[in-house]
Amino acid sequence: MNTITQTNRTILFEEINPEKLNLLTLVGDVRGVNSVSDDKIKEINDALLVRSFDEFLEKFEPVVYSYFDANNQKVIYTLKKPENIEDELLSEIHLNRQNDYLKMLMTLVEAKRAEGSINVDFKFEKLTDMISPKKVMDDIRQNRKELQYTYSEYAKLEDGDPKKLDTADKLNLMFEEASVNYNNVMAMLPLAIEDIKTRLLLGDGQTKKDEAPLSLGVLSMDEHGELKILEAPKENKKELMVLDDNANAGLIQAIEKDYMDLNEDGNEYVKSLVARTFCPLASTMESVVDIEKEVSNYNSYLEFYKRSKDDFIKTVKPLVEKIMGVWAFFEQYPRNCKGMRPSMVISNVSNDMLAKSSNIPRLLAYLNTVNAKNDFENTIWYAIVPSVSLNSSSKLKAVRQRFQGNENVEKEDVNSVESLVRILDALKDYEVQCFFSYETGDKTTFNIMATEGIEKYETKCAQLIGKPFSEYAIPCIPNFTVIPKDKSGVILDNRMYVTEQNTAALSKEKEDIMKIWIDGVYIGAAYVAAGLVAAYQSPDYLKEVFKKNVDEQLPGVRFDIESGDHALQVRTTMAKEITGYTNDIKSDINRKNFGFVFSSENAVLKDLNIQNIMVYKARNLLTDGKSYEPIYKTQVTTYIQRVMRLATGDFKQENIVEFFSSKPTSQRSRWMEKKDYINAIIGNGDDIRYSIDETAGYCTLDIAFNGNVKNLEIEINRVNNEDRTF
């Protein structure tokens, strides 16, 4: 750790925001050179390196663009900024922690983790309604409480009072946040929907049994002691209105003025809606209500909101799954744990673009700069390639559509196997282990693998086996489910109708329930696998998990998560999804020892019921014909080679002899002294030997892992008596 300070920097090969800089652009033209400058690496880190999810959101600002099509009266959403549409006609929807959709997904994962329920038992609908107008309005209500309180404090203070100036700063910020809603018609729709319900139904209208018009009253006793509800006196109502007006007039004027200042074409209806939303009064805001018109508005708002939300969710799904993947990567490392925190470089360019023959030299120049030096601060150890195409060659026979079935839409946002192969071929020369997973959906989940097993994944990986890069290719299965496809319905609200008594009521007919389907949200297994392996590289993380027997100076490169009860202790932060795999499926996995496999099993550790998904196998695609190699062997070999290169002055022969000598100060001796630690470089049952072929000029390392030997051949840097290289 004194020489290599991190062993977990990861590069994500995905495009997040096309408007931001990407790796290809930053590296630039590399014709005639094989590396880039230190200044260029700093520029790349400033633009593409993130050390937390919040820094990721800040640097990449994931965004969806929307505009209106007047011909078909629709909102159009796109992930790429349209070049032929003027900026003033475009709206940006930022996917950050304040976005209701993303907030709902993260809340759902955290709630499921806390509850420990499997997918079949978890009440997804309790949280998916966070994107309904009612829940959006709940957030607004909380904001307006804070706004009203702050304004009342501001109004009490004298002009010139320093505290009033401080309070004014807070108000300015609150108005800025509120204006994000009322400066955007789409953002106002859920507010308008709830506003009409509030005014016409005094709530959601579900508790009202009859359809008679409402007349507010007061509870009293008559002269015989009988309880009666009498119509409220008109003069009391008027007096109440005046009091309300006096208390909030200033805030109403400020909100209305702010709306009109921001909207030159603003109208009285929206201005009143804004005022009612952010500063509701008793009844002074009310005039004679046109019931039929308001009901018609409500239904058209709801229809438009449903269509727009549906289109938005379909468009944004690929980007949201990428964002949730980055979130899951960083979630594997405890927030309160310091030490070797995982970091991520994001290429921000599509893999098909990166894998072009004209662009691969730029990737190689970058890797040659950060991975082929004796400065390991920027070294890349892992890569993530999610959403690799399954692209089954077998097609179902076309049949006549007698009933409406699934539309076979080819996914556009997947990575081709060809681009994966080209990237793997580049990564192997720089000892970068690549975690990849297949495209997300309901066909690559725990549920499917529990019934079908891993055969289809092994078949898909056949073309990656027996290749020079196989040792660095790590297929991760299965993918994680945030919301299952069949439980992803969201009820927005019910249509409204006018009763015979000329009052408004919500319809209870099934066809009048406005509902959208999210169609499932998933996280690629590669994100979680890389995140967990990056986490246990940190000795601080291992110390927090195991408490003792951890060396604080050694990384977790030799940590074997398949050994003993390691998988029970070093678990993912993702909640269990199913009750487990059948014995037949587990026997098949154990027999083949294939891939980085997650399990959702019932398990107990020291009387503690495990409620998290665990690692079952952690293997790459290097095989001896019987089983696949554990991933830790590759990283230990890489780590030893890098430490050795630095300590021996780029593999000078006499320094290699010193490196492996029996002296207590030699590197081998120091490692052997710590073989009993959980994160030992050379563990119990391991050994490391070397032999030098002076004629050929090579040193061969034999690294034995519990008797299984892995060979590494290194070219010697030989010097003559004058210490000159020849």
- Which tens digit of pLDDT belongs to each residue from 484-527? 988 888 888 899 999 988 888 999 999 999 888 888 999 999 99
SS3 414: coil
| pLDDT tops 60 at residue 130 | yes
> What confidence tier does 220 reach under pLDDT thresholds 50, 70, 90?
low
- Whether 96 and 150 have beta carbons less than 8 Å apart is answered as no
Q: Which residues does 325 contact at the CB level (< 8 Å), separation at least 6?
A: 384, 386, 523, 524, 526, 527
Average pLDDT over residues 277-305: 73
Q: pTM score, two decimals?
A: 0.86
| pLDDT tops 70 at residue 327 | yes
**pLDDT of res. 445:** 94
SS3 68: strand
Nearest to 189 by CA among 68, 62, 94, 89: 68
> What confidence tier does 202 reach under pLDDT thresholds 50, 70, 90?
low
| pLDDT tops 50 at residue 242 | no
Average pLDDT over residues 448-455: 92
Kindly report the number of other CB atoms within 10 A of residue 267's CB atom. 10
Kindly report the number of other CB atoms within 10 A of residue 82's CB atom. 12
Strand order in the sheet with 687-693: 687-693, 698-705, 708-715
Average pLDDT over residues 305-324: 91
Ranked by mean pLDDT, which of 1-5, 90-94, 231-235 comes out on top?
Answer: 90-94
Average pLDDT over residues 58-85: 89
**pLDDT of res. 726:** 35
Q: Is 499 left (phi over 0), alpha (psi -120 to 50) or beta?
A: beta
Show contacts of 397-403: CB within 8 Å, 24+ apart.
none
Q: Which of 184-188, 540-544, 634-638, 705-709 has the lowest mean pLDDT?
A: 184-188
Nearest to 441 by CA among 554, 327, 321: 321
Q: Is 530 left (phi over 0), alpha (psi -120 to 50) or beta?
A: alpha
| Tokens matching residue 570 | 């070093």
Q: Which of 153-167, 234-248, 529-543, 615-629 has the lowest mean pLDDT?
A: 234-248
Ranked by mean pLDDT, which of 128-132, 200-204, 238-242, 563-567 comes out on top?
Answer: 563-567
- Whether 526 and 476 have beta carbons less than 8 Å apart is answered as yes
Q: Which residues does 704 contact at the CB level (< 8 Å), separation at least 6?
A: 685, 686, 687, 688, 689, 710
Task: Identify the residue with better confidence: 215 or 548.
Answer: 548
**pLDDT of res. 695:** 87
Task: Identify the residue with better confidence: 367 or 606.
Answer: 367
Stretch (H or E) spanning 591: helix 583-592
> What confidence tier does 59 reach under pLDDT thresholds 50, 70, 90?
very high
**pLDDT of res. 37:** 94
Q: What are φ and ψ of residue 506, in 5° steps? A: -85, 135
- Whether 320 and 521 have beta carbons less than 8 Å apart is answered as yes
**pLDDT of res. 721:** 43
Q: Which of 60-69, 259-268, 425-434, 486-495 has the lowest mean pLDDT?
A: 259-268
Average pLDDT over residues 522-539: 97
| pLDDT tops 70 at residue 718 | no
**pLDDT of res. 487:** 86
Kindly report the number of other CB atoms within 10 A of residue 22's CB atom. 20
> What confidence tier does 706 reach under pLDDT thresholds 50, 70, 90?
confident
Average pLDDT over residues 217-246: 51
The Cα–Cα gap between 700 and 716 comes to 10
Stretch (H or E) spanning 94: strand 91-94
The Cα–Cα gap between 611 and 600 comes to 8
**pLDDT of res. 10:** 98
The neighbouring-strand residues paired with 477 are 597
The neighbouring-strand residues paired with 522 are 481
Average pLDDT over residues 171-191: 75
The Cα–Cα gap between 120 and 209 comes to 35
Average pLDDT over residues 539-553: 94
- Whether 367 and 32 have beta carbons less than 8 Å apart is answered as no
> What confidence tier does 397 reach under pLDDT thresholds 50, 70, 90?
very low
**pLDDT of res. 239:** 38
> What confidence tier does 419 reach under pLDDT thresholds 50, 70, 90?
very high
> What confidence tier does 282 reach under pLDDT thresholds 50, 70, 90?
very low
| pLDDT tops 90 at residue 616 | yes
Q: Which residues does 309 contact at the CB level (< 8 Å), separation at least 6?
A: 131, 492, 516
**pLDDT of res. 214:** 52
| pLDDT tops 70 at residue 81 | yes
**pLDDT of res. 122:** 79
SS3 562: coil
Q: What are φ and ψ of residue 515, in 5° steps? A: -135, 145
The Cα–Cα gap between 316 and 408 comes to 19
**pLDDT of res. 219:** 58
Nearest to 266 by CA among 191, 392, 195, 179: 179
Q: Which residues does 327 contact at the CB level (< 8 Å), separation at least 6?
A: 53, 106
Task: Identify the residue with better confidence: 248 or 647.
Answer: 647
The Cα–Cα gap between 337 and 339 comes to 7
| pLDDT tops 60 at residue 246 | no
**pLDDT of res. 722:** 46
> What confidence tier does 284 reach under pLDDT thresholds 50, 70, 90?
very low
| pLDDT tops 70 at residue 474 | yes
Q: Where are the domains of the chain?
A: 9-61+322-391+411-489+520-631, 63-95, 666-725
Average pLDDT over residues 550-563: 94
Nearest to 634 by CA among 333, 373, 381: 381
